[in-house]
Structure formats: structure tokens, C-alpha cells
Chains A and B, each alone.
Chain A
Amino acid sequence: MKGKIVVAIVAIIAVIVFASFAVMYFSTYNKLVALNASVDEKWAQVEQELQRRYDLIPNIVSAARAYMAYEGSILQNVTALRSQWMNALRSGNMDAINNATAQMESGITGLIVTFEAYPDLRSSEVIQSLMITLEGTENRISTERMRFNEAVRDYNTAIQSFPANLWAAGWGFTVKSYFEAQVGSTEVPPLNF
């Protein structure tokens, strides 16, 4: 009789332990899925804004061409950086994207600095509008980039903390790279082309 009660208690405890383990297991999985989806969603936002910048560049280049006949190389440089950067984006490799974005950003900043030397160009309405749009695009990119990085941080923290760290690799969740805000990207880089 007594033995049966003990067995029953042990069985109940075992069931409770197993059930809570199962709940923890599945809720951890679900949490990681949600965080992973959040990272993807924010990356889509970043890509959308990068695309906006990408689409803007040909307009700027063609508007500037008339004024910058003698400095066509600058425009070519930006155009080349643009395609290089699009390739990086397509490859999906975060290091390549980071690298290409940094070059792109310094190229654009350089272009804007060059504009300063052309008063006619600067006062051109088309260029002014494009510059405002470009500025808005840069603000959007930095905002979405910040949100993406926050989502990555939450995700990385989650997969590295207990108990998720025991299973994350098995489920295929790996540490994700940040989309770095380039050091000094808010400063004006020297003209180097």
C-alpha cells in the first residue's frame, strides 16, 4: 500500500518534470523562431531603404553630369560602387554588405562634398531635391539599421542564454552578424577619388 503511494508520487513528479521540461523546450523554440522572424523582418526594412538609395543614385548622377563634365570620374566611381554594392547585397553575405555599404557611403559623402565646389550645381533645384531625398534616405537607413541591430542583439542574446544555448545549434539557430554603422560615417571622409 505504502509502496504504491510512493510510486504514484514519484510518477506524478516525473510527469510534472517532464511536462515542464517539454513546455520549456517548446516555448524556447517558439521564442527563437519569433526573434529570428523579427530579425528577418527588420532586415527587409533595411533592404528596402538601401534599395531606395540605390534607385536614387542614377538620378543624382545624371542630374550632376551636366555640371560636372570635367569630373566624370567621380560620377563613374559612384556608379561603379553602386553595382558593386548591389552584388554584395544579392550575395547576402553580411561582411560583404558591410564593406560595400561603407564604400558606398563614403562615395556618396565624397560626391556631396564635391558638389560644394559647383555653386551652379548646388543651387540647381533638381540637385537640391535629390539631396533632400538622399538625406532622408540616409536617415531612414540609419533608423532601420539601428532597429535591425537591436533585433540581432536580442536574437543573439537569446540563443546564447540558458537553456536555449543547449538546443539552438541543433535547431539551426546560429549567431547573426550586425549590420555595422560605419565608424566615422557621420563624419565627412576625405575626397579620395
Chain B
Amino acid sequence: MARTLFRRSIVIFFLALILAYSFCVIQPATCYIIEAEWVERIEIYARAVDANTTAEIVVCVFPSLYGHGVKDHSGAEIHDIVKLGVYIFNEEPLEVYDGIQTGIGKKGKDNGVLILVALEERQWRIEVGYGLEGDITDIEANLIAQNYLVPAFQQGNYGEGLYDTVVALGQQIPASNEPNNLKLRGYYYYESANTSGSSSTPFWEWEIFGIPLWVIIIFILFGVLFPVFRRGPSRGGGRWGGGRSGGGGAGGRW
């Protein structure tokens, strides 16, 4: 009995690890670049926008355009910020509160906005979904970034710059008149785990999203042994479809 439980827990542990790796090139915030306080404000504001307008404003922070592990259809890592934005917007499965969603914005409405920044290259990009191209024109997206993102980023105030940009973009999106029974996205801030460095560190020092691996192992074992701990998102659950974009928006450097 105890042996089967142990065996089962090992199997589940490895399955969980595989799942964790397969889904998590980009993760909801566990903040090691942007201050937690700002991330929280971004999340709160973006959630309010989602609730009022159904539109999803998503922030994605990349330490660099190299080594992030997001690959196109041919299997090559994407280094161009425009292409990366289009890919993340439309094809990268991102964790939302009740599963995984591919495509930012609501299905059919295509009302997503992606703010993507690459810190090392000092590049920003705002990708606007098809459904919002009229509300946030390329010129407006550029103006908002020039007014809020660029000056703050030049001073190193990343969190503030991102928050102000999110708010300014949110103000462009009109409230939804239709009865709103669409699910909230839940997560709006993501960071890319830079995968290039992890190969050189020994596995006992691995960190996944800033949490040491051994902590995760213990938690997973606990989760298996005591099902009470197993709450939270059912990975791989529904919600595959989301909004689409086609390269609209603006981009630049700071």
C-alpha cells in the first residue's frame, strides 16, 4: 500500500515536472525584475479593464530577446520583437487562472493588447488585437509609449512605466455594453524565464520562477501525499481559444 503510494507519487512528480517545463517558458508574475508593488497594481488595473470592457491587457517582460526559448514554427528562437509579439499574442500558451489560454483577448472579439519589453535590447512593442485596432491606433499606441513608457524606462522605473502605459491603454478601450458573462483572464503580467543560464547550474541549485527546485519537489510530494494541497489551476484545462492580432500597434526603443 505504502509502496504503491510512493511509486505513484514519483510518477506524478515526474509528470508534474514535465508539465511544468512544457508549459512554462513564460510565466505569470513571480517578480524578480519588476517591483512586486507595481506588478500588483498592473494586475489590479488590468483585471478591472477586463471586468469592465472584456479586453485583456497583458504585460510581458523579457530580460533579453536572446535565450528566452520562445520558438517559431521552424523551431528557431524568435529574436525580432515584432515577430515575438505576434507569436506570444497568438500562439504562445499562457497560464490564466483556470487553465491555459492561447491568444490574448476574448475569442471572436480579438480584444487583447500586449505590451512587450526586452530590457537588454531596450526595445518596447505594443501589439494590438484586431478588435481594438480602431480604439488604439498605431499612432495612439506610439504616443502612449512615448509619453509614459519611454521616459520612465529611461530612468529605470520599469514598474511605473509599465503601469502608466497599461492605464493609458486601458482608457482608450470603451466599456462593453453587452451583458458580460465572459470569464476574466485572471493573470495579466508575465515574465520570460531566461533559459540560457539554467544549463550551467547544477540541478540542486535550479530555480523555477525564482523558487528553488527542492522547495517545489517537497511541495509536489506533499501535494501528492495530502490531496488537501492540490488546489489551483487545473493545468491543460479548457480555454484554448483567445483573441488574435496581426502585427498592429507600435514599437520602438528607449
Contact = CB atoms under 8 A, between A and B. Distances in A.
Interface string B241-254: 00000111111000
A161 B73 CA distance: 20
A132 B138 contact: yes
A117 to B, nearest CB: 21
Chain A contact residues: over half helix, strand or loop, or mixed?
helix
Nearest to A150: B73
A133 B250 CA distance: 8
A135 B138 contact: yes
Contacts of A49: 246
Given A129-B139, A143-B86, A150-B73, A136 B249 contact: yes
A140 B248 contact: yes
A165 interface: no
A135 B246 contact: no
A25 to B, nearest CB: 30
Contact of B248 (A45, A139, A147, A150): A139
B82 interface: yes
Closest 8 CB pairs of A and B: A136-B138, A143-B247, A139-B247, A140-B247, A132-B142, A143-B246, A129-B139, A139-B82
A165 B249 CA distance: 42
Contact of A135 (B73, B86, B137, B250): B250
A73 B188 CA distance: 50
Interface of B: 73, 82, 86, 137-139, 142, 246-251
Q: On chain A, which size bracket covers the interface?
A: 10 to 19
A144 B249 contact: no
Residue of A139, A142, A144, A147 ringed by the most chain B CB atoms within 10 A? A139
B246 A136 contact: no
A133 B139 contact: yes
B250 A132 contact: yes
A136 B247 contact: yes
Interface of A: 45, 49, 129, 132-133, 135-136, 139-144, 147, 150
Nearest to B249: A136
A142 B138 contact: no
A131 B137 CA distance: 13
B31 to A, nearest CB: 30
Given A45-B246, A141-B247, 18 more contacts: A132-B139, A132-B142, A133-B139, A135-B250, A135-B251, A136-B247, A136-B248, A136-B249, A139-B82, A139-B247, A139-B251, A140-B247, A140-B248, A142-B82, A142-B247, A143-B246, A143-B247, A150-B73
Contacts of A139: 82, 247-249, 251
A144 B247 contact: yes
Contacts of A45: 246
A179 to B, nearest CB: 15
Contacts of B249: 136, 139
23 contacts: A45-B246, A49-B246, A129-B139, A132-B139, A132-B142, A132-B250, A133-B138, A133-B139, A135-B250, A135-B251, A136-B248, A139-B247, A139-B248, A139-B249, A139-B251, A140-B247, A141-B247, A142-B247, A143-B246, A143-B247, A144-B247, A147-B246, A150-B73
